[in-house]
Structure 1
Amino acid sequence: MNFYYIPIIVFGLLFIISMVFTVKQQTAAIIERFGKFQTIAQSGLRFKIPLIDRISGRLSLKIQQLDVIVETKTKDDVFVRLKVSVQYKVIKEKVYDAFYKLDYPHDQITSYVFDVVRAEVPKMILDDVFLRKDDIAIAVKSELNEAMMEYGYDIIKTLVTDIDPDGQVKEAMNRINASEREKIAAQFEGDAQRILIVEKAKAEAESKRLQGQGIADQRREIARGLEESVEVLNRVGINSQEASALIVVTQHYDTLQSLGEETNSNLILLPNAPQAGSNMLNDMVASFAASNQIGEAMKKAKKDKNE
């Protein structure tokens, strides 16, 4: 083999290799011929004329994100930092405009974000900035779409991802929130205490009512028992006064017996003579008789006055 052909073969191989190039998925390559735009090569295996055509640049067609931090002042004179995330991509049909019309898309997008945020936020107080962050994001997207579409960029979405007020303002807001929460907690505790007091009073009232009802029932049964005892004694020839005396004396001795059975009792019954019950009954009968006489006299006097 003639060695003179080796350089020619090497040159030919290099020439062929320089003709072939590849473009990655979701990427576009700009081909220029003698410095003038020639064509746009999409993804795949592509060819160009060596020494005449060259790859001037490549643009990604994927969605990209740019984070812009803007510091501005609210309507109530609070300095705040907003982080705005812009998601954008190159429009496939407008690769030419994106490559040739705009050298630094990041700077262009950042400028528009600053302009919109500093126009919208000073119209709001700090609380509204937090509540209406979606409105700020929509305003940024609308302004960017209108401006960047001309340069071949499509704004997919804009998000206000962070709102950071001045440090002293955040501390004041935290103190206010803590005070509000303590106030609410105190109100709940007061309501709980009031409910407990009301329920306790209701329970005590119910207890007293049941206790009074029990005492009334007990006295009613005692009276019924005494009435039955008097009737039994009457049937055997003992009159009502004698029967009452007998019952009182019997109850007197029953009480003494029950006291004797209770070793730890501190109750003392005075007087405790056997005739004490009879004397008590005689006093009661005398009182009842006197009361009846007084009542009859008052009725008679009232009747004479009316006549």
Structure 2
Amino acid sequence: MSFYLIPILFLGLIILISSFFIVKQQTAAIIERFGRFTSIRHSGLQLKIPIIDRVAGRLSLKIQQLDVIIETKTLDDVFVRLKVSVQYRVLSEKVYDAFYKLDYPHEQITSYVFDVVRAEVPKMKLDDVFVKKDDIALAVKAELNDAMLEYGFDIIKTLVTDIDPDAQVKAAMNRINAADREKTAAQYEGDAARILIVEKAKAEAESKRLQGQGIADQRREIARGLEESVDVLNRVGINSQEASALIVVTQHYDTLQAIGSETNSNLILLPNSPQAGSNMLNDMVASFTASNQIGEAMKKAREDEPGKK
């Protein structure tokens, strides 16, 4: 009798243990009885009728992500690969629909993503795809929400996480960007060179102005000195012509002395005879006299013209 009791007790223990099961947090368990839906159990320790009831499946209620890669063509005939990330979850109040109405949710979501992306991207140029990727993501989300809500799935967010054009197109875009940067660099270099030239010209102009002003001041002081020298000589009884001759001769020999004191000066030939100063003075006087005569003749000719006084 006791020999048959042990297997019965053991079998009863197994059946009792199988009557209990655990459902994890953020998970829903579907219970069926003889293949027919009975109930949905949520997190915690749960009880079912052994042998008669069974756990048909479990669905996660957490937010999940599905990455879909689509290859399509843009309006300007550029092939591009897009990666669309879809974040979704099963609604707790629609676990029955999610489990029984839709067998392969991933394939269903992928099909809708392909359909929307291949309808939107061919309307855009490649540059617009990069700029309006958020618009593409919103269009995918709107389409998926309308289609998947019926099956108990809520689309939380859709993101276009990667845009990968054809390799040749990327190389061409890189060359264009490099050329634009080189053009910009050349423009900056040209502006810098132009500024340097302008500033150098301004500096040279200022230098010439200051040099001219210095020369004018020097000549003015020389003229003032000569005037004072003539006045001094006149006061001691020397007339203007004699004073001019004396000054010219003095300047002549001062110049010869200054040249002779320079050891590294270039060779300059100047007359140094005693008559040199007098000759220069006579030439100067003759030039002044001729200039005055010409000026008087021109003035008289203008006065003699008809209609002029």
> Corresponding residue for 1:197?
197
Deviation at residue 227 of structure 1 after TM alignment:
1.4
Distance 1:14 1:190, change over 3 A: same
What is the CA–CA distance in structure 2 between the aligned matches of 1:58 and 1:182, rounded to whole Å?
60
What is the CA–CA distance in structure 2 between the aligned matches of 1:81 and 1:303, rounded to whole Å?
98
Amino acid aligned to 1:128? D
Name the SS for the 2:103 alignment partner. Answer: coil
* Root mean square deviation, CA, Å: 2.3
Deviation at residue 265 of structure 1 after TM alignment:
1.2
Deviation at residue 180 of structure 1 after TM alignment:
3.4
What is the CA–CA distance in structure 2 between the aligned matches of 1:113 and 1:129, rounded to whole Å?
16
> Corresponding residue for 2:177?
177
What is the CA–CA distance in structure 1 between the aligned matches of 2:300 and 2:77, rounded to whole Å?
97
Name the SS for the 1:268 alignment partner. Answer: coil
Amino acid aligned to 2:213? Q
What is the CA–CA distance in structure 1 between the aligned matches of 2:136 and 2:276, rounded to whole Å?
100
Deviation at residue 13 of structure 1 after TM alignment:
2.9
Give the TM-score normalised by structure 1.
0.90
Give structure 2 stretches of 5+ with no counterpart: none
> Corresponding residue for 2:130?
130
Q: Does structure 1 residue 117 correspond to structure 2 residue 117?
A: yes
Name the SS for the 2:238 alignment partner. Answer: coil
What is the CA–CA distance in structure 2 between the aligned matches of 1:59 and 1:42, rounded to whole Å?
10
Distance 1:272 1:99, change over 3 A: same
Amino acid aligned to 1:222? I
1:25-174 correspondence to structure 2 within 5 Å: 25-174=25-174
Distance 1:294 1:171, change over 3 A: closer
Deviation at residue 120 of structure 1 after TM alignment:
1.2
Number of residue pairs aligned between Structure 1 and Structure 2: 306
What is the CA–CA distance in structure 2 between the aligned matches of 1:104 and 1:74, rounded to whole Å?
30
What is the CA–CA distance in structure 1 between the aligned matches of 2:263 and 2:171, rounded to whole Å?
73
Name the SS for the 1:272 alignment partner. Answer: coil
Give structure 1 stretches of 5+ with no counterpart: none
Name the SS for the 2:154 alignment partner. Answer: strand
Name the SS for the 2:237 alignment partner. Answer: coil
Deviation at residue 153 of structure 1 after TM alignment:
0.6
Amino acid aligned to 2:24? K
What is the CA–CA distance in structure 2 between the aligned matches of 1:114 and 1:245, rounded to whole Å?
110
Name the SS for the 2:81 alignment partner. Answer: strand
Distance 1:301 1:187, change over 3 A: closer
1:202-217 correspondence to structure 2 within 5 Å: 202-217=202-217
Name the SS for the 2:128 alignment partner. Answer: helix
Once the two structures are superposed, residues 4-28 of structure 1 have per-residue CA deviations (whole angstroms, 9 ceiling, x without a partner) of: 5433443343233222221112211
Name the SS for the 1:25 alignment partner. Answer: coil
Of 151-160 and 211-220, more deviation after overlay is shown by 211-220
Deviation at residue 80 of structure 1 after TM alignment:
2.2
Q: Percent identity?
A: 83
What is the CA–CA distance in structure 1 between the aligned matches of 2:172 and 2:287, rounded to whole Å?
83
Once the two structures are superposed, residues 177-229 of structure 1 have per-residue CA deviations (whole angstroms, 9 ceiling, x without a partner) of: 33333333333333333333333333333322222222212211211121122
Deviation at residue 102 of structure 1 after TM alignment:
0.7
Distance 1:213 1:99, change over 3 A: same
Question: After the TM superposition, which parts of structure 1 deviate over 6 Å for at least 4 consecutive aligned residues?
Answer: none
What is the CA–CA distance in structure 1 between the aligned matches of 2:132 and 2:45, rounded to whole Å?
49
> Corresponding residue for 1:221?
221
Deviation at residue 3 of structure 1 after TM alignment:
5.8
Of 38-47 and 113-122, more deviation after overlay is shown by 38-47
1:13-24 correspondence to structure 2 within 5 Å: 13-24=13-24
> Corresponding residue for 1:277?
277
1:4-15 correspondence to structure 2 within 5 Å: 5-15=5-15
What is the CA–CA distance in structure 1 between the aligned matches of 2:225 and 2:36, rounded to whole Å?
128
